Amino acid sequence: MTVILRSLETAVPDTIMVQPQVRDVFAAQPGLTRLGQRLVGAAFDSSGIETRYTAVKELTLAESAEHPVFFDREELRILTPSTKTRNEVYAIEGTKLFIEAARKALDAAPGIEASDITHVVTASCTGFFAPGPDYKVVRALDLKPSVQRYHLGFMGCYAAFPALRSAKAFCEADPDAVVLVIAAELCSLHVRSSNNPDTIVGSSLFADGAAAAIISARDIPLDGPALSLDHFETVLTPVGEESMAWNIGDEGFEMVLGTYVPHIIDEHIVGALEPLLARDAALEGLDYADIEHWAIHPGGRSILDKVEAKLGLTQEQLVPARATLRDYGNMSSATVMFVLKHILDQPATDGNNRICSMAFGPGLTVETALFTKVGATPAGGGTADAVAALHAGGAAGIGATGPDNAALPTDLEPILIKAGA
């Protein structure tokens, strides 16, 4: 049975954060030491990020809030609202992102209607409320009230993989299942000024965004790029439990992102890939670079540098991850799905169309996945025909449409944050 990701769509808030101007505001915060100022400059300048998005509409220089909660524009001061206040924003703005991404994914899946959805799986680690985003999506999209709902909470940056793995399992158990998977994060809710290096690094990286996919084993014709969900594996590294964590504080959630994380990945990435690649005999003996596509979660530029060097990948193979980091920042669980969409939207090649994907999170946990990129089928042909043609060596043509929101204005004004772009 072949389980296919039939559509993959993304959504981001309207407010763009321009990295150099955000850096300057963070560096000018009261209470920051000289060392803290230097750390801010180093972290922001080496991040590999140009723009990010935030759902906190108040984070703008375009206009002042009458009663500022997150950002005082007049004093250019980052404020410290309570966790309750931040979570209330999550419940409102996060719901919007979940619904927008879900609706776009459903609209982009030919042959699938809202009434076909049998399962909804949501993933998020930046807020909580009940009834949660899974419920809100069912109501907003008018899905059947009998839809089975699952929410994966507080898993961190790798949560998209357990969500996709669950969808694959549901479809294998019930060939008629249609699963809607959504990952949405509002990381910017939890930014704060600090002299703590972990907090500074987090402030330089994290952003808001959502991604959603429709997954099914139904034999329905494809008319665009899609993914065969081949294999998933999970590995816990023997070290790193204290190097990456996500805790709840009184003034928002607190990120622990130690500088040793890239070194842990460098030391253990080969071992983490072994059980995944062993699942496919066709990959036996291949160099890592011989796998055509790599969808790496861009946890930071140094992590991507380590992955590229350790595995001997080409610069072109890291373009989807680096471009996602550059244009969107680290959106936690949603980010690797943005990378996968970048690969889906690339033109077809004569390569092997395999995708090896990885994401890293608290634990330190390494989630890995193998996908096969499939394209449009001939008229009357179904999903099975597309996969059979691919494995027979006939890669179908795939049209490139370009990722949502990838084209940013070239004349961004020199401001901290531009709203409504």
The structure tokens listed for 40 are 């801010």
Write the single-letter amino acid at 123. Answer: A
Q: How far is CA 272 from CA 230, 275, 306, 406, in A?
A: 17, 7, 14, 31
Instruction: Quickly list DSSP for 259-307.
Output: TTHHHHHHHHHHHHHHHHHTT-GGGTT--GGGSSEEEE--S-HHHHHHH
The structure tokens listed for 310 are 């350790």
Q: Is 187 a catalytic residue?
A: no
Residue of 368, 85, 363, 407 lying closest to 246 (CA atoms): 363
Q: One of 157, 171, 187, 356 is an active-site residue; which one?
A: 157
Expressed in angstroms, the distance from the first to the final Cα of the chain is 44
Q: Which residues contact 226 (CB under 8 A, 6 or more apart)?
A: 4, 5, 6, 7, 344, 373, 374, 375, 383, 386
The structure tokens listed for 193 are 């000024």
The structure tokens listed for 4 are 């296919």
- Find residue 252's DSSP bridge partners: 249
Spatial distance between the Cα atoms of 49 and 67, rounded to a whole number of angstroms: 30
List for the chain the helix, strand, coil content (%; round to 5): 35, 25, 40
- Find residue 340's DSSP bridge partners: none
The structure tokens listed for 345 are 């939207």
Cβ(388)–Cβ(409) below 8 Å: no
Determine if the peptide bond prior to 364 is cis (ω within 30°).
yes
Torsion over CA: 135, 181, 168, 187 (sign): negative
Place of tokens 């294999």: 231
For residue 96, give the H/E element and its range.
Answer: helix 95-107
Active site residues: 157
